[in-house]
Structure 1
């Protein structure tokens, strides 16, 4: 070797070559188009960027951005790179997004366009009689949740109620009322069919209704306390006759209202008057009274009788008797009493009092009623029957039943006499008539 050749003299005797071994590695070639397997994501998309352009979708160093179609969610790496090991740096897949199953709607339902998948639209509806409160439509969103909130079906519609028809009735004979029946109202709930309660304002069916117009109202409540009402009218008419007038010197006593169908009116005469004609009349369905109006005529006193009892019987329940007895017509007590009685004839007649005078001693004894003379035998029987003495002035008051009610041994002022009669002897009917005619004698 020549100088400058690079070899040394000592080296000439050793010709072995030592080579240092290195591990086997693939030859990196960035131009191989499919260095990694081609990426394909079901229901998704991979957008890749290669240093060598668009034709190198999976060459060494390519980076891909992964995404899913609408309605799918990515699980795994969002970005992967093609590595020298010919594998991608990660894995990913797309899973379909689902919303939870919607709860069943009480008293309603819903219908969905695509079940529980994204963009599915569910429309709610309520059963008849219910109204939807809340969201009528809900959408399944990309985050797997439903839009809005769950609505409810509310019973806001009142029940349906129909009352029976209005009715008219004629009062029953001798009554001012009519018994009226009806069926209960027809009630139906527009929602669940359940009626909580039905209330009645007014009389119950089968009640007695007086004359006039009566409104009956029913109210129905459903479970949600919605209510509905209906009403009908009950009209009661009383069939009537013309109002009767009492007879002169008499009065009427009528049943019921006095002139309604079936009512009976009885005719009575004042004390000292006798009735001539029919004693009673009835209001008929033709609105006319039966019979004709009677009259009251002054009673005829028959003194030609066989006994004092027969004489007194004529006054039974008609007149009171005031028997005035004196030993002599010139008796001063007798003259005073007769003078007072003559000045009070109106008050005596108003109280139905007839005066009998027994004056003197046999055989010239005189007995008279008004202008009629009594026989000696009748006078004697009267004195014995009523225990009336001839020896002194005395006076006996006999009531309409023939009972001895009071005795006087001295003249009595007519005001005192009348006060006693008014307080103790008048019937309720007489008291009423007396109050009506109080002013006649003033």
Structure 2
């Protein structure tokens, strides 16, 4: 190094030695190499994973990593650029920013209630997810959704809804015969089987019609069931119950008689009883039953005029002929000319119809021995029977009197003066009618013209 004597000028780049001499030694400062602008690999080569870099250099295509090179960055389809879209190779041999490509992914889809989905490629771009619902449910909304480039799914979340009605099967229709002596049949059935096509739960069952085990009258009856599932879908079914009444031909009452029947009178099991009018007695069986063959049992009896046998040996023999058949009105008077006797017989002769309707037979005991007379209509009674009646019923000969005897042979009422037929009829109608007589009176009116 050559030493020169220099005038020290501020900022010259040189420095004086610290020795106390008049000589100054000059040390040359090392020179920095200028940037090698033309070096092709000034920055490392860009390698964008799943992307591309499009670079431009002012020095040409052979200097795409030299200082000053500018690159435009992009990602392959299915990836999104994270960082700067444009970078430059700097003096410090680094690019001006960090950039990478991130795979585009959509969020995980929610599984619909009562449903599911399957995807072609998970949650990646262009993946298609197809939705299905469980058996009994229907899909409402988008059946297929695709993962888009913006990271969102196309469409919206669908739902699975229960719109199918439940399945129900009613019992088979049935036909029944009315029970004997009835116009109804008791019909049973098992409740219908119902299931829901979705979750199997039936929430409510409604019956329109009689309950099982009810009595059904004659005719056709429609029974309906309605069931509801939890989604308020409903299903209905119906069946019929037909009740048939077996009937026999309508019976006609016998001449001089009438009928009393159970039920409506000619249905299967009905029983009809024959009765004869006052003064007539029945010949033949009194009861007939309607059978399942639609025919009546037995044959129709007849009502013939009552034959009174006065040639009996005792009062009991005479009274037995009237037991449960006729009521007796015994009139006693000391003389045919007795005023009370004539008044009473005159009133009764005008009420023959009413007496017959109430099954009343009149016995007359008139006079004093040896001219005493006893008769039932035109039939004469012997002296022994007359005396026996007086003793049995405690009837005096000395004055007018009447004794009313019911069908059971019981002394029911006594009179010492004449009474109107209406009083006698009122007594019978109010207190002495049998159930059969009352039924017949209600059905036929029991009136005399």
TM-score, length of structure 2 as denominator length: 0.88
Contact 2:177/2:185 (8 A) holds in 1: yes
1:429 aligns with 2:436: yes
Query: Where do residues 289-304 of structure 1 align in structure 2 (5 Å cutoff)?
Result: 289-304=296-311
Task: Measure the CA separation in 1 of the matches of 2:64 and 2:362.
Answer: 153
C-alpha distance after superposition, 1:122-156 (max 9, x if no partner): 12111221111233222223333323332221111
Identify unmatched segments of 5+ residues in structure 2: 1-6, 8-21
The residue aligned with 1:137 is 144
Contact 1:325 1:394 (8 Å CA) reproduced: yes
Which residue, out of 57, 68, 73, partners 1:50? Answer: 57
Is the deviation greater in 101-110 or in 120-129? 101-110
Distance, in Å, in 2 between the alignment partners of 1:209 and 1:420 is 43
**Is the 2:169–2:192 Cα contact (8 Å) retained in structure 1?**
yes
- How far apart are 1:210 and its partner, in Å? 3.0
Is this contact kept in 1: 2:142–2:156, CA < 8 A?
yes
Mapped pair 1:374 → 2:381: yes
Aligned twin of 2:346: 339
State the match for 1:24 in structure 2: 32
Please list, as runs of the form range in 1=range in 2, the aligned pairs for 1:137-156 lying within 5 A after superposition.
Answer: 137-156=144-163
Inter-CA distance 206–187: structure 2 relative to 1 (3 Å threshold): same
In 2 relative to 1, CA 414–186 (structure 1 residues): closer, same or farther, beyond 3 Å? closer
Matched, 1:272 2:294: no
**Alpha carbon RMSD of aligned pairs, Å?**
2.6
CA distance in 1, matches of 2:42, 2:150: 37
Alignment-derived partner of residue 111 in structure 2: 104
Counterparts of 1:193 and 1:350 in 2: how far apart (Å)?
A: 72
User: 1:219: how far off?
Assistant: 2.6
Report if aligned partners of 1:270, 1:318 keep a CA contact under 8 Å in 2: no
Instruction: Indicate the residue corresponding to 2:315 in structure 1.
Output: 308
Counterpart pick for 2:404 among 397, 400, 415: 397
Query: 1:25-69 deviations in whole A, cap 9, x for unaligned?
Result: 4x3343333322221211112222322344432221112222222
Partners of 2:24 and 2:309 in 1: CA distance: 197
Which sits farther off after the overlay, 200-209 or 415-424?
200-209
**Cα distance, 1:317 vs structure 2:** 1.4
Structure 2 CA distance for aligned equivalents of residues 17 and 407 of structure 1? 186
Deviates more, 1:96-105 or 1:333-342: 96-105
* 2:243 is the alignment partner of 1:230: no
Q: Is the 8 A contact 2:139 2:160 kept in 1?
A: yes
Q: Give the whole-Å Cα distance in 2 for the aligned partners of 1:328 and 1:57.
A: 169
Q: Is the 8 A contact 1:350 1:434 kept in 2?
A: no
| Aligned CA distance change for structure 1 residues 412 and 23 (closer, same or farther; 3 Å) | farther
The Cα of 1:17 is off from its aligned counterpart by 9.2
- The one of 231, 237, 243 aligned to 2:250: 243
Alignment of 1:118-129 (within 5 A): 118-129=125-136
Deviation string 1:337-395 (CA, Å, 9 cap, x unpaired) is 11111111122112211111111110101111101111111111111111111111111
Greater displacement, 406-415 / 169-178? 169-178
- 8 Å contact kept, 2:440–2:446: no
Give yes or no for the alignment of 1:64 onto 2:71. Answer: yes
Post-superposition shift, 1:435? 4.9
SS at match of 2:395: coil
- Alpha-carbon offset, residue 329 of structure 1: 0.9
CA distance in structure 2 between the partners assigned to 1:410 and 1:180 by the alignment: 63
Aligned residues: 430
1:361 maps to 2:368:
yes
Residue 416, structure 1, aligned to residue 423, structure 2: yes
SS for the counterpart of 1:429 is helix
Question: Post-superposition shift, 1:323?
Answer: 1.0
Deviations 1:226-246 (A, max 9, x none): 221111111121221111112
String of CA shifts for 1:86-131, please: whole Å, max 9, x gaps. Answer: 2212222112122222233332221212210022121211122111
Does structure 1 residue 86 correspond to structure 2 residue 93? yes
SS in 2 for 1:144: coil
Aligned position for 2:17: none
Q: Match for 1:321 among 328, 334, 357?
A: 328
Which residue number corresponds to residue 45 of structure 2? 38
